[in-house]
Amino acid sequence: MTADGPPVDAEANTGTDTGTVTADATRHEGGAELERTIGLAGGLSIGVGTMIGAGIFVFPGLAAGRAGPAAAASFAIGAVIALLVALPTAELATAMPRSGGGYYFISRGMGAVFGAIVGISLWLGLVFASAFYLVGLGEYAVATLAEAGVAVGGGSMVVALGIVVGIGLTAMSMTGTENTAALQNVVVGTLLLLLSVFLFYGLLDAVGVFGRETVPEQFAPAGYVPIMTTAALVFTSYLGFAQVATVAGEITDPGRNLPLAMVGSVVIVGVFYVLTIFVATSAIGSDALEAAGETAIVEVAREFFGLPGAVAILLAGLLATLSSANASILSASRALYALSRDLIVPREASRINLRYGTPHIALALVGGPVIVLVGTGQTELLAEVASFLHLVMYGLICVALIVLRRRDPDWYEPDFIIPGYPAVPVVGAVSSFGLIAFMQPTSRWVGVAIMLAALGWYAYYARDVHLKRGETDD
């Protein structure tokens, strides 16, 4: 398994991913893998619940400060790019409905070295994203307490609350995937109801139904380049559809539910994002949003409904950041689990808890780094590093689809075929890689360093691992 040992076929010789996909579980030589307990509603909840948090409750102030009202265009650009990648991802996922998402698709399409770099980067990218969401949760929790008249510390309390919730979510995920999915369904349903009421009122207000004038403001006060740099920042908001792919091994009826969950979640969330920025900038203007920072949307609700509105949106923000962190921790553990089954990282990470049927060691290896990163409190850096690593993976997913289509192996039989091939994956790849150019230099350097470290790990530990080029006997 190491560089000095004999070559290892991670599937043929070890039982990794040799088995069958059934309606209830993915079964291997050693028994059942992860049970298929997540339906369409659960898949949509993971996708929507991951994405709806940052875009609405953390980014409006940051985005409006950079691009003004044109931040709505930034979110629209992000949605288009996400959709261009979601379609190829959906096709690959129906051909290979296994845990691991982008790592699994790229490793089977392009080889172990690309898979290792992407897989380790995906694991760490989701760790960065989870920490980002938990910092946002801490911000909303502190703001909620402040509205209730409870004086608490500033940054230190934000970090403390994020750490406590991170530990709690990791522990809950260890007790069963159905618990995570049930929490997502309740949280996302409540969240969408609250947001729908807020946006409906805000749209009526923006068009003057209530007799108020909207804030007169130039659409792109800083020009058009900030639209793209802001799109690169807020792309973290669109990571949720990929999280659905990482738990593909636990989705029921994957041929139907995976495409619907991925594409549907991008469309739903994209509409919510664009409307939110339009409503927010119309209500109080970009300068006020920027001054309010991570809780800017609370000031919009206060403008509409007074204190009750502010409290309601604060509670919605807590739900949103909670659901985002919850889904990201789950997905990060499944990425690490898939790496371990292929022996890219030590086999211990793929051990399943016999009582709960969850990869408890993989979850611990996610929760630990997340807690450390929460301690930094660096919201924008965490978001952009997560975006960088995911954009690289998204571009390579599109490339992997093209490679597999050209090679046309016997085992590649997806239930969903993307329209517009090859234009969709080509544009998806170019757009994903191109958006990286608009990121802050620090974020790019951190992302590159993580990918180089992943390559170093592969060369040292797993360069003799040979993956079968394809899905196994289904």
Provide mean pLDDT across the span 444-467: 89
pLDDT over 90 (residue 451): yes
Evaluate if residue 452 carries a pLDDT over 90: yes
Give this prediction's pTM.
0.78
In this structure, is residue 31 part of a structural domain? no
Query: Has residue 284 got a pLDDT over 90?
Result: no
* 85-125 pLDDT per residue, tens: 999 999 998 888 877 778 888 998 898 899 899 999 888 88
Strand order in the sheet with 25-28: 19-21, 25-28, 31-35
pLDDT at 214: 61
Q: Does residue 58 lie within any of the structural domains?
A: yes
pLDDT digits (tens, 9 = 90+) for 305-331: 888 888 888 888 888 888 778 878 888
**10 falls within a domain:** no
Q: Cβ(301)–Cβ(144) under 8 Å?
A: no
26 in a domain, yes or no?
A: no
Tens-digit pLDDT profile for residues 190-226: 888 888 888 999 888 887 777 665 655 778 777 788 8
What pLDDT shows up at residue 2? Answer: 39
Q: Say if residue 29's pLDDT is above 60.
A: no
pLDDT at 435 over 90: no
Q: pLDDT: is 235 or 262 the higher one? A: 262
Give residue 402's pLDDT. 96
88 domain residue, yes or no: yes
User: Which pLDDT belongs to residue 33?
Assistant: 55
Residue 280 domain-assigned (yes or no):
yes
What confidence score (pLDDT) does residue 264 get?
92
Given a contact cutoff of 8 angstroms between Cβ atoms, the answer to whether 24 and 244 are in contact is: no
Residue 19 has a pLDDT of 47
User: Does some domain include residue 86?
Assistant: yes
Average pLDDT for residues 381-402, to the nearest whole number?
Answer: 88
Instruction: Flag the least confident range among 245-249, 344-348, 390-394.
Output: 245-249
pLDDT over 90 (residue 397): yes
290: exposed, middle or buried (C-beta count within 10 Å: 0-12, 13-18, 19+)?
A: middle
Angle at which helices 177-206 and 307-341 pack, to 10 degrees? 140
Whichever domain contains 324, its CATH number is 1.20.1740.10
Give the contacts of 471 (CB within 8 A, at least 6 positions apart).
Answer: 95, 96, 98, 108, 411, 412
Structural contact between residues 100 and 338, judged by C-beta atoms closer than 8 angstroms: yes
| Count of structural domains within the chain | 1
* Structural domain of 117: 39-464
Tokens of 194: 């609250």
For residue 21, give both structure tokens: 């996909």
pLDDT given for residue 148 in this prediction:
76
Residue 14 has a pLDDT of 37
Structural domain contains residue 1: no
The reported pLDDT for the residue numbered 449 is 94
d(CA 471, CA 474): 8
Q: Is the pLDDT of residue 455 over 90?
A: yes
Q: Give the separation between CA 48 and CA 56, rounded to whole angstroms.
A: 12
**pLDDT 10s digits, 56-83:** 777 888 888 888 888 999 999 989 998 9
